[in-house]
Structure formats: structure tokens, C-alpha cells
A and B are shown apart, each in its own frame.
Chain A
């Protein structure tokens, strides 16, 4: 029973840690399925986190903060699009540039606005997303098995967690069941086919990166106004890259990407709890190993040792009609 509790609690933490990954991985998916590599997830997440915290602080409302985050990440997506889609620049370079730029800019603006070494001031309750108790959670709280699962694991998260998990089937539906999704996937596979079908390639790709921006904005806002209570310099600490890895690991598809995010989130939650803890019989587990696992697993996947990850055909290639 004790162990069951522990597992539930670990899974509970997994949901919290995987939420930003899920949103960002879906963001990456929208962009990359349309043919635009999005290494800028990290930087966009950071930008979103900063805007959300700063605006939520001033307005005392997390929703306005969320909107600000999304506005910021859409702007960054448009910048990425401007470089890669309009000017046919190198997508990897543009992504790296945005990451570096945002790492500096968020801190710089943070110092200018709040003079707290790049942090934003701590947000009080009203300015953050608060946990939501699902209906009936209190009632079943003490029922064995179901109680912990419903009360501890499923209930009591903030709205963004639920949004992230609902975003996965939603993304799947959009991607595979709508005209927009069909065109988006087509433009990432063969933009020529889309063009000759009378659909604008550039517009289609812009729409895709905008979707990407919306999602990654939420992920950033989650970090600073839901999971945390302020923005900190470089607070994403590589989560954007982990999300990218999860997307690759999920072979650019929503549900497998969700699974990868949960796995990576679980590893993160486990690593956090294992720090400095001596496990009976095993001794101290090197946390660094657990922390490196997502990257190692992704490399192994990319190497084709556990199935092949086949990227969209036109990924990374700007659409050039006339040489």
C-alpha cells in the first residue's frame, strides 16, 4: 500500500513535469509536420514564461499572462517564419538564434523592469493558475485504490495540465481529421503538391508555425505562472530540447509524442526525488544518468536501433520554385 501511494505520487509529479513537454512537443509537431524545423522551442518557451510572469504580475491575472505569453511566442514564431519561410533562411540557424536571443533578452528586460537580477517578482495566488479539484474528488478521497488515483493523481492540477492532456487528442483530430491538418501534413511532405492543388505553401506554413507558437506559449506560461511562481533566468533549462527529443521520439505523431513526454517527465520526476537518496540494496543512483536518459534514448531511436523515426520529407527545406 505504501508503495502504491508512492507510485501514485510519482505519477502525480509526472503529470506536472510532463505538461510543459507535451505542449511544447505538440508545438514542435505542428511546425515540423509542415516542414519547418523548430529548434526555437527552448527560446520561445522562455519568452512565453517571461511574458506570462511579467504580465500576470502587473495585471494580477494569470489568464492575461497566458495571452501575453501566447502573443510573445506567436511573434517569435512569425520571426522564425520570416527568416525560414519568407527569406528561406536556414531553419536550424534561425532556431538557435532565437534560443540565444531569448536567453539574453528575457534576462535583460527582466532586469530593466524589475531590477531583480533577471527574475520577475514572486506572483501571489491571484496571479497564478490554481489547482482545480475535480468534481467528486473529495467524496472518493478515502476509497481505496480509486481514491488515490482520482483524488491524488487526476484531481488537483491546474487548468493548464488538463489543457495539455486534452490538447493531444485535439491535435490528433486537427492533424488527421480536418482539411487544415491534411494540408499541413501535405505541405511538410511535398509542398509542390500543395502548391499545385491551389493552396498557398507559404501561408500554410505560416499557419503551422502560428499553431506552434500558441502551444509553446502555453507551455512557457505553465512554467512561470502555474508550476512556478515567477520567471527565472534560463528557467526552461533545456526543456525545449527535451520536448523536441520527445517529438522525434514520438515520430512526429501526437500520441506517441505524448507517451515520450510522459516517459521523460517520469524520468525527471524520479531523478528529482532520487537526488541524494540512498536506495536500499542499490545504493545511490547517479541522478545524472537518469537525467541523461531522455537524450540517450532519443539518440538510440535516431540511430534506428528501436524503430525508425522518419521525419516529414520536406522538413528543413524551404520551398523554392524558381532557382
Chain B
């Protein structure tokens, strides 16, 4: 399995980075297993892997953010002891983290000079830094106002600040951890052009992503990680998306789930001109109008951060609608006045939220306590004014059996279950209520392959039982294999609908970038 097509075969070039036997555990999680990696100077090197494969961990070790339990790091052929980010920086390594490491209340300039102020008094360094920043901006066309407050900038611009930070520190090696997750395709294209320029200047780039498209388009070499291990190295030119995806998941990927045709019946969910503002008053969902019928799965695709989360949360009753209406089986259930998550559940809306840890469970609870979250008022769980723990235990055991949750111990702390088993427990809790409408967000995020298949099957089973399902996922594959109809969201608006049969990645990708559906299909037609 471990076919090491060492990039070292190219021989002459000294690798910019070489990792040997890097091993890292977080408590029970074995995040990196004896990883070897060589990155050639002056190349763009991709690292792919599924969620939780250990990509970020590996790169954070290289950057000195985490300490490896074992293994060595070599930079430019020299053994380099990286005890903290300080050492990494002085070894010429810069990193743009998946979650930006910026001080939002600071200006761009302050963020850039943090740690390299150039003197105990700021004034001395600031002017020089401003000069240097201007040069970098010109050189890499990274336009930005150095005095803008970072918190006011868009994510795309914030990312630019991160890149500037690294360059300012004289980074020769730049690591970018999932830089495109929050970008529109256009912004991503711009980023790739910048990376190209960096490469021309002789810098080395490590690009982490799990989007194969980006790997194929931007990198020279690619390494694949799976469940904490490095499973393969390839020259990008000599591989294909199919091979990479197979390597990523460890077997041939079923691009289509085996499922029958949908038999849509009456409309269950009807959403009319729905608008949602967040706490800051920014409109996150704009005039969403769509419906979901009984017996179908409607998927919502989009780059993360384009309003899908807010849409799901408002339908689940976690947020209030600002404008517009929502109907369930013809009855008004617009979340807000008097209609909250509890009321929606009573009316038959089940909700598997996107973020398991943040929302779907209380990790400090035992499994049985987690198993009644949201249904704590259910009379079946009450005995006079008290909670009926024996009954709850039994119900939990039932869920665990039905959804194959392991270990099947209702008294175990929720935190002690693996991610996939936690997710199965959440699904069991929501699905076994036999709801009218199932809202599911990112059902397989950070879940192992076996569980993914199981979860997908259960969702399809719901549909086949004549229930309405609304699925939000940023994984196009998941959307395309599960959904019967696909809505695409961009910048808070639903910009179009595609039948699953007509959908392909290119069309969806263009639409996710905000291209009008008809135009997108036309472009596709030309191609």
C-alpha cells in the first residue's frame, strides 16, 4: 500500500523540507503516524487528505506550533530543531493557518510586524515595515491598506494579510492550510496566481487542501494522507483525480450511491423570500425561496460561508427569520416569535446540525443525556416532574443498537466516543423520531469511510420512507450522490437549481462562484 514514489528521485535538487518519521498523538487521537515527506525547492507541493487526516497537524508541527512526539525536520538539508514558531520563522518557514492567526483589533501593519517589530519602540520599525510592505504588495500584487483594521476586512483580504505576514518575515517556504475553503473560485484563482508568482521567485509552497481540482490545477507534486498516515507521493502530471481520491479514502470511491429514483409527493417545506440577518445586522440569507417535497432529498451546495449555515440554523429554529415565511405542511412555522427549536421539533422538524461539537451535543454529558438533547420535554422521558432515567437509558440503548453506535454503553461520556459514533448517535436521535422534515448539515464531516456509507444509506432510507430531507454540504461529491435536486447558494442567495441528473462539478462550481445558472450551463456546453 505504501508506494513511495519518492520525489527525491529527481536527484540533483536539494529538498527544501524533509520530514522523517514525524509522529504525533493528541490524547487518544493518533493524528500523525510516522510521516515522511520531501518537498522540493521552488515547487508547489500539494497535500491532500480527507477531513481529520492529519494535514493541519503535520504542517503545524513543521511550523513549530505543535511539538512532534517523534521524528526529525530537515530544512535545506540541515537538521533543524523546531521548538516553536520562532525557530520555524528563522528557518524561513511561513504559514497561513486554516483558522487565521490574526489580531482582529489591530491594523494590517500591526499584525504584520507582530513578533518582528524591529526594536523595543515601535516607531523605529513601523516606517521600515511600511516601506517593505509596499514593496511586497507591488511584487506580488497583494493590494491592501496597511492601516485598515483587520477585523473589518473580508476573509479574502485577511488571508492576504496572513500571506504578507509570512513574506514580511522573509519566508522562503510558505505553507497554506486549506486557503480556498473560504474563498470564491475567483478569489481562489487570484490566490493561485500569487502562488505561481511566488514559485517564479524561487519560493517553495506547500498547499493543503482536500479539493482535487485545486491540486490538479496548481501543484507540481502531491502527497496523500489518510487517517494520520502518509500513503503516497505523486507528480501531479502523472496522476489523476480518480487515483488521488482512491488513495485518499483507501478504496475505489463510489461516485454514485446506489439508490432508487425519488418519488416526490406533496410539498412539506415551503420557504418564501426568507431573509436572515446576523447579530451584527449583516444579511446572511437573501430572499431564499424554495421547497422540499415528501420523498425527496434537496441538497444545498455552496462554498462554506455563503449563508448555508445560517439557512439551516434558521430552519432549525436556532435563529429568527428577519423577513419572509416558512411553512411546514401548509402551516406557518416562520422561526422567530414563539417558534423556536423546541416548537419546531414538536411539529416534526428534526435537525442534524453542521457542527457536532459546537451544537449537536454536550460533550460533558453521558451518552444517554446527549441522546435526549432537544427532546428533554418528551413525556416518554418523564415520570411526574422527574426525568425517567431508566426509560431514557432504554431508549438510548435502542438508538445505539439501531445505528450501530459503538461502544453501546449509554453511561459513557459523549466525549469518549469517536467522531463517527457521535455522529451516528446524533442521527439516531433525530431520525428515530420519525420526523416530517429532516435537516442535515455536513452529515459526514470528520467521519470515517464505513460510517459515511452507513449514514448516507440512512438518509436515503428516510427519503424512501416518504420524508422530506434538506441536505447542506460543502462536499460536492456528497451533494451529487445524495440529492435529488440541488440548489446552489452564493453570497446568501439561492442562485439556481440543478436536477441531480444534470449536475456535474463544473456547472456547480461555476454557479457556486456566482455565475448565472443558464450561463454556467452554456459555458459548460461550449467546453
Interface residues of A (CB under 8 A from B): 177-183, 185-186, 189-190, 192-200, 313, 321-323
**Interface-side segment among B2-10, B111-119, B284-292:** B111-119
Known: A190-B102, A193-B111, A196-B95. A180 touches B120 (CB 8 A): yes
B66 contacts A322, C-beta separation under 8 Å? yes
The smallest beta-carbon distance between A266 and chain B, in angstroms, is: 31
Residues of B close to A196: CB separation below 8 A: 63, 65, 85, 95, 97, 101
Q: Does B330 contact A (CB under 8 A)?
A: no
| Docked CA distance A323–B415 (Å) | 12
A179 contacts B120, C-beta separation under 8 Å? yes
Q: Does B110 contact A (CB under 8 A)?
A: yes
| Docked CA distance A146–B65 (Å) | 60
A186 contacts B114, C-beta separation under 8 Å? yes
| Docked CA distance A200–B102 (Å) | 16
| Docked CA distance A183–B114 (Å) | 7
Interface residues of B (CB under 8 A from A): 26-27, 63-66, 84-90, 95, 97, 99, 101-106, 110-111, 113-117, 119-123, 125, 165
Residues of B close to A190: CB separation below 8 A: 101-104
A179 contacts B121, C-beta separation under 8 Å? yes
A321 contacts B103, C-beta separation under 8 Å? no
| Docked CA distance A322–B24 (Å) | 11
Known: A178-B121, A182-B117. 16 other contacts (CB 8 A): A177-B122, A182-B110, A185-B105, A192-B97, A192-B99, A192-B101, A193-B101, A193-B102, A193-B114, A195-B85, A197-B89, A197-B115, A198-B84, A198-B87, A199-B86, A322-B27
| Docked CA distance A185–B165 (Å) | 18
B117 contacts A179, C-beta separation under 8 Å? yes
Residues of A close to B88: CB separation below 8 A: 198
Known: A193-B102, A322-B26, A323-B26. A200 touches B84 (CB 8 A): yes
| Docked CA distance A185–B121 (Å) | 15
Known: A190-B104, A193-B114, A323-B26. A198 touches B120 (CB 8 A): no
Known: A186-B114, A189-B106. A197 touches B123 (CB 8 A): no
Give me 15 A-to-B residue pairs in the complex whose CB atoms sit less than 8 angstroms apart, sorted by A's number. Answer: A178-B120, A180-B120, A182-B106, A182-B113, A189-B105, A190-B104, A193-B102, A196-B65, A196-B97, A197-B85, A197-B114, A197-B165, A198-B84, A198-B89, A322-B66
Instruction: Name B104's contact: one of A182, A189, A200 (CB within 8 Å).
Output: A189
A179 contacts B63, C-beta separation under 8 Å? no
Q: Is the interface of A mostly helix, strand, loop or mixed?
A: helix
Residues of A close to B103: CB separation below 8 A: 185-186, 189-190, 193
The smallest beta-carbon distance between B73 and chain A, in angstroms, is: 16
The smallest beta-carbon distance between B482 and chain A, in angstroms, is: 31
B121 contacts A194, C-beta separation under 8 Å? no
Q: Is the interface of B mostly helix, strand, loop or mixed?
A: loop
The smallest beta-carbon distance between A214 and chain B, in angstroms, is: 18
Residues of B close to A200: CB separation below 8 A: 84
The smallest beta-carbon distance between A215 and chain B, in angstroms, is: 20
A189 — nearest CB in chain B belongs to which residue? B103
| Docked CA distance A184–B87 (Å) | 21
The smallest beta-carbon distance between B110 and chain A, in angstroms, is: 6
A182 contacts B120, C-beta separation under 8 Å? no
| Docked CA distance A146–B49 (Å) | 76
A198 — nearest CB in chain B belongs to which residue? B86
Greatest chain B CB density within 10 A among A177, A190, A198 is at: A198
| Docked CA distance A8–B270 (Å) | 72
A177 — nearest CB in chain B belongs to which residue? B122
Instruction: Name A195's contact: one of B65, B120, B125 (CB within 8 Å).
Output: B65
Instruction: Name B115's contact: one of A177, A194, A322 (CB within 8 Å).
Output: A194
The smallest beta-carbon distance between B304 and chain A, in angstroms, is: 20
| Docked CA distance A323–B57 (Å) | 13
| Docked CA distance A321–B65 (Å) | 8
| Docked CA distance A323–B111 (Å) | 26
B94 — nearest CB in chain A belongs to which residue? A196
Residues of B close to A177: CB separation below 8 A: 121-123
| Docked CA distance A200–B84 (Å) | 8
Instruction: Name B119's contact: one of A179, A195, A197 (CB within 8 Å).
Output: A179
The smallest beta-carbon distance between B306 and chain A, in angstroms, is: 25
| Docked CA distance A56–B106 (Å) | 44
The smallest beta-carbon distance between B349 and chain A, in angstroms, is: 32
A310 — nearest CB in chain B belongs to which residue? B105
| Docked CA distance A228–B388 (Å) | 63
| Docked CA distance A185–B106 (Å) | 9
Residues of A close to B106: CB separation below 8 A: 182, 185-186, 189
Greatest chain B CB density within 10 A among A180, A183, A200, A322 is at: A322
B122 — nearest CB in chain A belongs to which residue? A177
Greatest chain A CB density within 10 A among B63, B85, B116, B120 is at: B85
The smallest beta-carbon distance between B431 and chain A, in angstroms, is: 29
A187 — nearest CB in chain B belongs to which residue? B103
The smallest beta-carbon distance between A197 and chain B, in angstroms, is: 3
The smallest beta-carbon distance between A16 and chain B, in angstroms, is: 34
B166 — nearest CB in chain A belongs to which residue? A196
Residues of A close to B114: CB separation below 8 A: 182-183, 186, 193-194, 197, 199
| Docked CA distance A177–B117 (Å) | 11
B85 contacts A198, C-beta separation under 8 Å? yes
| Docked CA distance A192–B66 (Å) | 12
| Docked CA distance A195–B83 (Å) | 12
Residues of B close to A182: CB separation below 8 A: 106, 110, 113-114, 117, 122
Residues of A close to B121: CB separation below 8 A: 177-179
Greatest chain B CB density within 10 A among A179, A185, A195, A323 is at: A179
Residues of B close to A180: CB separation below 8 A: 120
B104 contacts A313, C-beta separation under 8 Å? yes
B120 — nearest CB in chain A belongs to which residue? A179
The smallest beta-carbon distance between B414 and chain A, in angstroms, is: 14
Residues of B close to A192: CB separation below 8 A: 97, 99, 101
The smallest beta-carbon distance between B487 and chain A, in angstroms, is: 35
| Docked CA distance A16–B402 (Å) | 73
| Docked CA distance A177–B110 (Å) | 11
Residues of B close to A195: CB separation below 8 A: 65, 84-85, 101
The smallest beta-carbon distance between B228 and chain A, in angstroms, is: 15
The smallest beta-carbon distance between A277 and chain B, in angstroms, is: 46
Residues of A close to B113: CB separation below 8 A: 182
